[in-house]
Amino acid sequence: MKKKILFRIIAAALPIILILLVEVVLRLFGYGEGYQLFNRVRGENGVEYLVVNPNLSKKYFKDTDFRADSQFDLFLRQKTDSTFRVFVQGASTVVGYPFYRGASFPRLLKHRLSRTFPEKNVEVVNTGITAVNSYTLWDVTDKIIDQKPDLVIIYAGHNEYYGALGVGSSASVGSHPVLVRSYLKLKNLRFFQLIENALTGLMGTGAQNKKSVTETTLMEVMAKEQEIPLNSEAFVAGISQFEGNLKRILDKYERHGIPVILSTLVSNEKDVKPFISDDLDKENFVESIEENKSEVHELAQNNADAAYILGQHYLERNPDSAKKYLHLAKELDLLRFRAPEKINEVIMGQAHERKLPLVDMKNIFESKVPNGILGDELVAEHVHPNVEGYFVMADAFYEKVKALNLLEDWEHYVPYEEAFDDIPVTQIDSLKGKLAVEILKQSWPYDLSMSGTKPVGYNYVTQNPTFEETTAINLHNHQEQWQYLITQAYHKYNEDGDYKKALKVAQTLIFEFPEQFKVYEMAGEMCQKLGDDAYAEYYFKKSRYLKSMKASLE
């Protein structure tokens, strides 16, 4: 009897043992991807840092040719006592699309906190990845916890339908949340990767029927289920998916006593019409509005285009009604690249239930625009802020950190106006971002007839381009590397005596190379030439500190 039991145990355990042996062998031979959130790197000063793994996005974008954007913010592998460490979770808005570099709100926040606390090592680590949703945020949470954050900021929700593994996404493995989360756990195993790759090789990926980012916009590549009506089964599934993942994320942070700041989401409602709407005789509808027919209001309750046209009609006549119908138009939009209000309700509900600090970003943005109707003033296209909008986001989080008293002694508090004047974004990066937006607005889904194609031969500047415009175009066309062109710009500005522009270049370089003392010296020299000796000393002190770190290791 005992032998039979032992035999059954061995028989049951044998497959597991074999899988473990194969897993070990595969790892020894370097097969597959590690999918770690952070990679170790050694800085120019000899110190070990961690940085977001550039290959991590491969885990989430199954059967696509897309490699997601992310920011690469170095932070110390060994956290020091003087370090204030913040992690930011989200997607393309967190990354800073379309301006990137110093325009992303995590970097703007780091810049201002570093000035406020010059004696501290402020680390604001951007873990955002373009086109992901709450599944990815949940998947990386444990790895963020391992790095002992002093604060986590979450800004996410726009990609819940079409982001990687979402209910309407082309990069999907199923619609059941338990299945998707199990898939993400298994994906860490080389053995599972081997099986998946073998099955893909045998069955094919179906890529011949899929659009590619080389052919069209990322938005079209990711949107498999293009029409998701309000309160439909897929709509409800997306809300449930977001709420379930957010709860699990917050549970983990709560168990480890890590402070979290949540934020509501912003959308352009005034200047972006619905991408896809039910059919509407627009000419007849406009005539009905002019004739003040009662049925226009009833139709606008159920048709996105009707609601948008009615909202635009009311803009000059009745701002309150305009706001109501423009918001409704966004809610009724069948193509859900703008988060529905239910997402914000989930975020606010979790903040209230758990007594978590909330930045009501939607309300803050609306307070800064005419009649509280958010449009192009602060948002570059449908959801991504412009440079000023990203600054408003960073300012809101800066003020929330202050209100929460997470750091003591705000003697060097940087006021709004001073911080706004010191936005560390080059004109070159700003123009490059504007160029990307202009091209996007000529592409799908802004122009549905452009499905499967990209604008050809579009010229942002046609005559007498400035140095910044020429450089931005070269960057957009990948004619030169950013580091090379931006360093050239620094020397040009310095020679021309345009020290403020040169300072912004140096500040941007600091974000990219925070371990290199030379870039701090470049910023300090420009501050000196601008007559700001106190600010110059701030940068020279940072430079001397990095030099001393390097010397101590030699």
pLDDT digits (tens, 9 = 90+) for 67-93: 777 888 999 999 999 999 999 999 999
Counting other chains too, the contacts that 541-544 makes at CB distance below 8 Å and 24 or more residues apart are: 541/118, 542/517, 543/517, 543/518, 544/517
- Of 375, 409, 424, the position where a domain reaches its end is 424
Q: Does residue 10 surpass a pLDDT of 80?
A: no
What CA–CA distances, in Å, run from 191 to 18, 242, 272, 421? Answer: 10, 29, 46, 53
Q: Classify burial at 128, counting beta carbons within 10 Å of its beta carbon; exposed 0-12, middle 13-18, buried 19 or more.
A: buried
Q: What is the mean pLDDT of residues 41-46?
A: 88
Q: Which run of H or of E encompasses 38?
A: strand 38-42
Q: Does residue 180 surpass a pLDDT of 60?
A: yes
pLDDT of the residue at 215: 65
Q: What is the largest CA-CA distance in the chain?
A: 92
Q: Does residue 317 surpass a pLDDT of 90?
A: yes
Q: Does residue 16 surpass a pLDDT of 80?
A: no
CA torsion sign for 105, 109, 112, 114 is: negative
Mean pLDDT of the chain: 92
- Of 399, 424, 449, the position where a domain reaches its end is 424
What CATH code is carried by the domain that includes residue 391?
3.40.50.1110
Residues 259 and 123 grouped into a single domain: yes
Q: Shortest CA distance to 145 belongs to which of 248, 48, 4?
A: 248
Residues 443 and 537 grouped into a single domain: yes
Residues 395 and 461 grouped into a single domain: no
More confident residue, 538 or 463: 538
Q: Shortest CA distance to 359 belongs to which of 403, 405, 401, 396?
A: 396
More confident residue, 523 or 545: 523
Residues 363 and 266 grouped into a single domain: yes
DSSP code for 54:
T
Give phi and psi for 191, each to the nearest 5.
-60, -45
Residues 405 and 320 grouped into a single domain: no
From 7-11, 427-431, 515-519, the region with the lowest mean pLDDT:
7-11
More confident residue, 510 or 207: 510
From 230-244, 402-416, 439-453, the region with the lowest mean pLDDT:
439-453
Q: What is the mean pLDDT of residues 420-433?
A: 97
- Of 424, 453, 481, the position where a domain reaches its end is 424
pLDDT of the residue at 19: 77
| Residue 51, domain member (yes or no) | no
CB distance 194 to 276 below 8 Å:
no
Residues 254 and 346 grouped into a single domain: yes
| Residue 86, domain member (yes or no) | yes
Give phi and psi for 44, each to the nearest 5.
-60, -25
| Residue 162, domain member (yes or no) | yes
Residue range(s) defining the domain that contains residue 298: 282-332
Residues 527 and 451 grouped into a single domain: yes
Band (pLDDT 50/70/90 cuts) for residue 143 is: very high
pLDDT of the residue at 208: 47
- Give the length of the chain: 554
Q: What is the mean pLDDT of residues 505-524?
A: 96
Q: What is the mean pLDDT of residues 409-425?
A: 97
Q: What is the mean pLDDT of residues 363-372?
A: 98
pLDDT of the residue at 210: 60
Q: pLDDT by residue (tens digit) across 200-258? A: 778 765 544 466 666 677 788 877 778 999 999 999 999 999 999 999 999 999 999 99
| Residue 529, domain member (yes or no) | yes
Residue 65 carries which side chain, given as an amino acid letter? D
| Residue 382, domain member (yes or no) | yes
What CATH code is carried by the domain that includes residue 515?
1.25.40.10
What CA–CA distances, in Å, run from 412 to 118, 317, 415, 417, 422? Answer: 8, 46, 9, 14, 15
| Residue 351, domain member (yes or no) | yes
Strand partners, 359: 263
pLDDT of the residue at 44: 82
pLDDT of the residue at 207: 47
Residues 266 and 372 grouped into a single domain: yes
Q: Is the peptide bond before 98 cis (omega within 30 degrees of 0)?
A: yes
pLDDT of the residue at 202: 80
Q: What is the mean pLDDT of residues 112-140?
A: 97
User: What percentage of the chain exceeds 90 in pLDDT?
Assistant: 76
Q: Does residue 66 surpass a pLDDT of 80?
A: no
Q: Does residue 554 surpass a pLDDT of 60?
A: no
Q: What is the mean pLDDT of residues 471-476?
A: 91
Residues 144 and 264 grouped into a single domain: yes
Residues 303 and 416 grouped into a single domain: no
pLDDT of the residue at 516: 94
CA gap 62, 200 in Å, rounded? 10
pTM assigned to the model: 0.94
Q: Shortest CA distance to 436 belongs to which of 381, 488, 372?
A: 381
How many independent structural domains does the chain possess? 3
pLDDT of the residue at 356: 98
Residues 157 and 298 grouped into a single domain: no
Q: What is the mean pLDDT of residues 142-163?
A: 97
Residues 536 and 471 grouped into a single domain: yes
| Residue 47, domain member (yes or no) | no
